[in-house]
Amino acid sequence: MKKIIVTLIILMLAVKAEAQSSVFTVVDSLLLKGNYQEALVQLENEYNKTVKIYAKIASIYQSIGDFNKAIQFYEKALNIEDREAIKVKLGAVYNSAGFSSKAILIYEDIIKIDTSNLLVANSLGKLYLVKKKATRAEKIFQFLIKKDTVNPNYPYQLAKSLAKQSKKLAMGQSYLDAYNLDTLHLKSIYELAKFFKELKYRDSTMLFINKGLKIDSVNVNFLQLKANVLYFSKDFKGAITYLNKLDSLNFRSINTYEMYGMCYLNLKDHNLAEKYFQKALRLERNNSKLLYRLGALYYEKKDFNLAKLYLTQSIMYGRADLDKQFLLSGKIAKDEFNLKVAIKFFKEAVKYNRNNLNALFQLALTSDSYFKDKKIAYKYYKDFVQRFEGKNKKLTLYAKNRIKEIKKEYFIKGEIVE
């Protein structure tokens, strides 16, 4: 009798397993056709809900982006049996759904039990970086590097965690370690190019930029970086070559158009400079810096009306660092022989930036021309010499001579000026 019962139980289990297997066969065929809803109906109609059924339902919801439902069914699966593979999937869904803190807890729990799961450790390290836990991320990636010495991604991620801790030299070395493991590791090459650019090692910067472009000649990051390096090296024609390549890829940004404009401005092609500054401005109408660029351009073209229009707008939309705008506005007013207005603008320039020596000198010089009371100009000249002596020999010499002359004029009148 016992043998019969055991045999029946085995047969029942086999039938259930076969039935469930046939369900998965049907579900998989439906999924191949993209019929997710019918596949879900088939699974949810199953009377005997196993770990495998719940996990399959969750994976379908995960694949169609319904992360909350996926979480619900992965948790149901785990309530039946605590499986590491399902916990890994749950962690991934938590992260996709924006619950990164919950994903971290899941991954930490897995790593405590199973330190051999490097994929989970890698995911945990990346999440630590997202959550600004750079020290923890560093420890994870150091651990991964010891476990797998040939994967360039680990020193690359370690460099990211070091960067967030301002350990710049160690960061650079780690990017170099990643590159040495894989000389085609484009992300590390790009970061090394930026690293050496910050250190102002031009040759090393160009070396890695060119390596990146050799691997991917249409990579916009490297094209932008090369244009930038050439521009600041005053190779304006070379910079335009790479800006043209970006333009041919339909890559357009305020920065690239502004650089176009500055290149042509330095090459004295005012019309093309104007064209690209205007293109940049169309992308952001209230950009104070671009408005200033156009104001300065029209000043050079002696179109004072347009210059004043753009400078006024630049001041209107600017929040800080407006000394250049006020200085140029003052110069225009001075060129139009409106010294009173010029003085007002120069005072504003000095107020916004006390270290703008040209603004203070123009304030002294214009006050000297406008006011009969030379003590006003004397005060500004003296302030200029005290603060900027040695920074501009020509202007300092002029200011010192005027100080002497003003003192002499007042001395003759019987008055001592200090």
Tell me the pLDDT tens digit for each residue of 274-297: 999 999 999 999 999 999 999 999
pLDDT digits (tens, 9 = 90+) for 183-219: 999 999 999 999 999 999 999 999 999 999 999 999 9
pLDDT digits (tens, 9 = 90+) for 41-94: 888 888 788 989 999 899 999 999 999 999 999 999 999 999 999 999 999 999
Cα→Cα distances 30→36, 283, 345, 347, Å: 7, 47, 74, 76
User: In this structure, what token pair is assigned to residue 245?
Assistant: 């390549």
Q: Answer whether 0.85 is exceeded by the pTM.
A: no
**Whether the predicted pLDDT of 10 surpasses 60:** no
pLDDT of residue 21: 61
Q: What whole-number percentage of the chain has pLDDT above 70?
A: 95
Calculate the dihedral angle through the C-alpha atoms of 17, 23, 29, 32, rounding to the nearest 10 degrees.
-100
pLDDT confidence of 16, banded at 50, 70, 90? very low
Q: What is the CA radius of gyration of the chain?
A: 35
Mean residue pLDDT across the chain: 91
pLDDT digits (tens, 9 = 90+) for 83-121: 999 999 999 999 999 999 999 999 999 999 998 999 999
87: number of Cβ within 10 Å: 20
pLDDT of residue 3: 52
Alpha carbons 297 and 302: distance in angstroms, whole number: 9
The CATH number that domain 115-217 falls under is 1.25.40.10
CATH number of the domain at 219-319, out of 1.25.40.10, 1.10.238.10, 3.90.1010.10, 3.40.640.10? 1.25.40.10
Identical fold for domains 115-217 and 219-319, yes or no, is yes
DSSP codes of every residue in 165-210: TT-HHHHHHHHHHHHHH-TT-HHHHHHHHHHHHHTT-HHHHHHHHH
Q: Where are the domains of the chain?
A: 115-217, 219-319, 342-418
Alpha carbons 266 and 293: distance in angstroms, whole number: 12
Residue 7 phi, psi dihedral angles, 5° rounding: -60, -40
pLDDT digits (tens, 9 = 90+) for 346-394: 999 999 999 999 999 999 999 999 999 999 999 999 999 999 998 999 9
**Whether the predicted pLDDT of 17 surpasses 50:** no
Alpha carbons 76 and 54: distance in angstroms, whole number: 7
**Whether the predicted pLDDT of 163 surpasses 50:** yes
Cα→Cα distances 7→17, 98, 397, Å: 15, 50, 111
pLDDT of residue 205: 97
pLDDT of residue 407: 87
Minimal CA–CA distance to 380: which of 408, 335, 352, 347?
Answer: 347
**Whether the predicted pLDDT of 18 surpasses 70:** no
**By the 8 A CB rule, do 107 and 123 touch?**
yes
pLDDT of residue 11: 37
Q: Which position has the higher pLDDT, 322 or 412?
A: 322
- Taking phi over 0 as left and psi of -120 to 50 as alpha, with beta for the rest, 327 belongs to alpha
